[in-house]
Chain A
């Protein structure tokens, strides 16, 4: 008490009274550095996203962009590449004057990511921008490279004293995958956190930038009618599906090393599970939301090797038909090694062992070349305890099911039992549908636009914390390790189908997969 009494009172930073009522909050002046600036992600998502932020007047009042990549090119050539990527991939036609204004502030540094000279050149540009601005600018380093470069870049930023900056914030934004195993993720966390504080690190899971994922929190915590039912007393099972109708395309090199579990389950789908199962946070600050998500992940038992067969199924797509055309199987796709045992389909049954969810199975399913593209969460309620009118014919009566669809038609639908018009009490199921598209005028911003802005503002709510990443790997790692010991070939499913018949093996009695 005595110490506290003598401690000088902290003076909280005065609020800016001008931000009240504004939809867009100010973003501090920033220089964004993209490592891997000529890569696919930068071209397709980051540069068009930055243009759209510029178009909307949503970039910081002072904004500079520096691209870093191996290829040798002049600033003007990189600007021309940026322009081409923006024109090609922007969600709206560029306004010429805005595009010009954005490109004026673009520079390029060539070199490999381990070369100290790259960071020296980077520093010169960063300092030059600040001299021009007459003030320190925040720095955001976006690591849009192959994952093996993440530690190299982070350590170089540290050794070249670019990880801290007097009078401004320095942040590092790291793309997925954050490791390919628990050990790698831990090692990467250790190396990143040896240079940066956790508050400076923004690990991207672009699913979290999607409006519909954020809407799940609004849906659960802004509506009184669902929360009383949201527990093991009323919920029978939860099914999370992320199905794609496409194959791996030209991504064989990446995909064959990753597989469906690493590509979608370890990050996106476990995040969706967290959103379904988390307790209401005290408030919506980054730390509170992430604390609640971590608690969910910690409540998921790590499967023992002998349990893996009971709770996890993997498979590969075989040749089939999709979109009215013949399509090759995974092993026939260009670039896939013969005899590959990489899974293109995974189904899991997980438990969340806490007071709220004990005994409720959480089914996670993802796959490529399935019947259609859909991402949804289906919450099945327990059946009513007694059906008084069953003798009149109500075979179609099914338990209520609440389905939150994330794509393609974002919305919520509730399956209810209703009487078929007529003289007898015959029941069948009907759907009560709500589609976000019908109820809002605004277009959802691209996930990357939201995430880039949040990272520049220092709001980490939609980014994954180190303990979340490790908790996700603790669930997935034992499954991967067990699979590595199991010989191929994998079970297959026909392209364009509902997935492998083996997927049913993990369902508990009475449960079944929803049609994709």
Chain B
């Protein structure tokens, strides 16, 4: 069922006029068909360089039902003097009799350097009051996030975007002191965390968690932070004290101190992996048991060797979410709270100290 859009646009406009247009469009759509109802879940403010607006719009279009209820795109063009705006109210489909169709609103505001000092007063009237607001600045512009923080309950970032892992972790850590951080690098490790947790969930295996002696994480070349966060998660959940990792020819290596033994930690880049995220995790316990998970077709390929040396291999089904899926999950997570991210982040920072 095809949806329909209603559009308003103006040049040289003001935030008040844009906000009035949003209200007017809503009245118009409801008059058109009373089955149209506005989604009221989440505001999302995105600050982007104007020339990348299309690319960001494409990425956000792919998130499907995780689209924010009201998306405010602040499209930045340094020398622009005038505030131009476009407002769209899009329905997800023609409502069937007796059913409702959700309306999602997108506001694109084109602005320049002269507007940056007053950015808060431009964005504030455009968000739906009482809804949680998520900030995202995919092209850096950290100062803008700081400027808009009073409006937000959460910030979306992707720590693997930062060229330096250390800076990425510092930035995420500083932000998480002030607001809830949704880090796409962390979300890329979710299926791995779920599966490692499941591997050690059967009662006989739980005791072996305390005897882990080695963890190796293989990752996309630019996803060191995702791998560090996975190690940080294990360290924080299992009470390890990690020492800084040192780089060698093929990766980073170091040790963590568990209550009974030291744990060898190793990160290795996986040049064959073409998408961001993790390529594999291998864990060894003191008994000689090894568990290995690797990306494979249709899920994760699991390999296990028990203390007697018997080896087994199988596939744990699961579809790849792709980058769009990860972004959608990031938006959804803005409404949840994961208490394990910050401790994992802290432990990961210790590994790069």
Contact = CB atoms under 8 A, between A and B. Distances in A.
Interface of A: 13-14, 16-24, 26-29, 54-57, 59-63, 95-102, 104, 132-135, 372-374, 408-409, 435, 437-443
Nearest to B300: A57
B315 interface: yes
Interface string B44-86: 0000000000000000000001100100000000000000000
A100 B298 contact: yes
B232 interface: no
12 contacts: A14-B206, A16-B197, A18-B197, A21-B341, A26-B194, A55-B319, A63-B317, A97-B319, A133-B314, A438-B40, A438-B100, A442-B332
Nearest to B99: A408
Given A18-B197, A55-B318, A438-B40, A28 B335 contact: no
Contacts of B65: 441-443
B102 A437 contact: yes
- Output the residue of B197, B238, B317, B339 with the most chain A CB within 10 A: B317
B41 A438 contact: yes
Given A26-B194, A97-B298, A54 B209 contact: no
B227 interface: no
Given A100-B298, A101-B298, A19 B201 contact: yes
A17 to B, nearest CB: 5
A441 B332 contact: yes
B298 A18 contact: no
B198 A26 contact: yes
B251 interface: no
Q: Considering the complex of A and B, which 9 residue pairs feature the smallest CB-CB distances, nearest first?
A: A57-B318, A97-B298, A21-B340, A101-B298, A26-B198, A18-B197, A54-B317, A26-B201, A101-B317
A22 B193 contact: yes
A373 B96 CA distance: 13
Contact of A22 (B98, B197, B320): B197
A55 B40 CA distance: 28
B122 interface: no
Contacts of B238: 17-18
A138 to B, nearest CB: 10
Interface of B: 37-42, 65-66, 69, 98-100, 102, 190-191, 193-203, 206-207, 209, 234, 237-238, 297-299, 302, 304, 306, 310, 312, 314-320, 331-332, 335-336, 338-341
A17 B209 contact: yes
Contact of B339 (A18, A20, A59): A20
B102 A438 contact: yes
B339 A21 contact: yes
B199 A438 contact: no
Contacts of B196: 18
Contacts of B38: 438
B315 to A, nearest CB: 5
A441 B66 contact: yes
Contacts of A99: 298
B238 to A, nearest CB: 6
A356 B304 CA distance: 57
Contacts of B234: 18
B132 to A, nearest CB: 11
A61 B199 contact: yes
Contacts of B339: 20-21
Contacts of A14: 206-207
Contact of A98 (B191, B310, B317, B332): B317
A308 to B, nearest CB: 34
Contacts of B302: 61
A440 B199 contact: no
B288 to A, nearest CB: 14
A110 to B, nearest CB: 26
A13 B198 CA distance: 16
B316 A134 contact: no
Contacts of A23: 336
A7 to B, nearest CB: 21
Nearest to B293: A61
Nearest to A433: B37
A372 B98 CA distance: 9
Nearest to A19: B197
